[in-house]
Structure 1
């Protein structure tokens, strides 16, 4: 009898370990295609259009509107995809108590892009450009039109550096403002992580007291 119980306990232990291993796999989400670093460059297409207009000897300004439409299409596709994903998830998880509305999810992504893809990049690159112009004028590095090319090239080179900080700043702004209003704040996984962190801190404090 004792041997039989021991075997049952081992089977239960193995079953629990397998279930723990399967849970992280289920919780892992597919990477967001529209947040991929290379895809995020589509949000900065107007800046590349401005650069081409600066470097091109012909009148390239008439084609700048097409670069602007690339960014608009990118924002629209990302917003619609997030709304569609929320709709399909709500349809699949019928027992879920709090279901985010697909329209609100799409609106959340659209507002996110207004900050991360339009407002903050435009003002950031404008500030970088103005700083480079003042520096080049002060240092007298080169004369026109080489100075213009120099400023434009360095402004474009700064785009890979500012993409991630701007995205993270926008996430922080959205989490502490709009998402609290929409009801799209901390997800259950995030809450569990915060609770685990609190428990770890409390256990460390108790050990120090002992």
Structure 2
């Protein structure tokens, strides 16, 4: 058994909003998009509400952690942009288009009933979520480091 204390410096601290299952709340709208063919549009809108609540909660958390007023504004903008792109906009669009394409292609098979096509589309959407998370996160990281962070966080830029 080690007697060393774990390193609790900020760089090794767990971010509840990004390093725990709480991060999955940001993907609520992908679940909504997956079920779009089966549920009322208000259920899909509610899923976007959950995802944006997560985005705003993470933005609030990052903003409160900054002491310097200028850095507070930069942290808020950085988090809001990153989370909106990586958790809501890009994954929501991706799942929406994947499900629309799936439903379209399945409609070519006249042997499948409409309920079967809709449930298959939903399953495809749900099954694809785990595969799009990391590539989208990395893509948004690259985008942010090439644009916003290059100007406002020169120490983190490429």
TM class, shorter-chain normalised? Answer: 0.7 to 0.9
**Residue 117 (str. 1) matches residue 100 (str. 2):** no
CA–CA distance in 2 between the matches of 1:186 and 1:83? 18
Distance 1:37 1:154, change over 3 A: farther
Counting only pairs closer than 5 Å after superposition, residues 145-164 of structure 1 correspond to structure 2 as 145-164=115-134
Q: Which runs of 4+ in 1 moved over 6 A?
A: none
User: Which residue of structure 2 lines up, in the alignment, with residue 196 of structure 1?
Assistant: none
User: Which residue of structure 1 lines up, in the alignment, with residue 12 of structure 2?
Assistant: 29
Check the 8 A contact 2:103/2:121 in 1, yes or no. yes
Aligned with residue 49 of structure 1, among 17, 32, 40: 32
Check the 8 A contact 1:104/1:182 in 2, yes or no. yes
After superposition, the C-alpha distances for 1:151-171 in whole angstroms (9 at most, x for unaligned) are: 111111111111111111111
TM-score scaled by length of structure 2: 0.79
User: Which residue of structure 2 lines up, in the alignment, with residue 165 of structure 1?
Assistant: 135
CA–CA distance in 2 between the matches of 1:48 and 1:83? 28
Counting only pairs closer than 5 Å after superposition, residues 73-152 of structure 1 correspond to structure 2 as 73-87=53-67, 101-138=71-108, 142-152=112-122
CA–CA distance in 2 between the matches of 1:100 and 1:128? 40
| Larger RCO (CA within 8 A; separation ≥ 6) | 2
Residue correspondences, number = 154
Distance 1:63 1:120, change over 3 A: closer
Structure 1 unaligned blocks of 5 or more: 1-20, 91-98, 192-210
| Structure with the largest fraction of helix | 1
Check the 8 A contact 1:141/1:147 in 2, yes or no. no
Check the 8 A contact 1:116/1:167 in 2, yes or no. yes
User: Which residue of structure 2 lines up, in the alignment, with residue 40 of structure 1?
Assistant: 23
| CA RMSD, 1 decimal | 3.0
Shift of 1:118: 2.1
Pair member with larger Rg: 1
Structure 2 unaligned blocks of 5 or more: none
Shift of 1:140: 5.4
Distance 1:133 1:85, change over 3 A: same
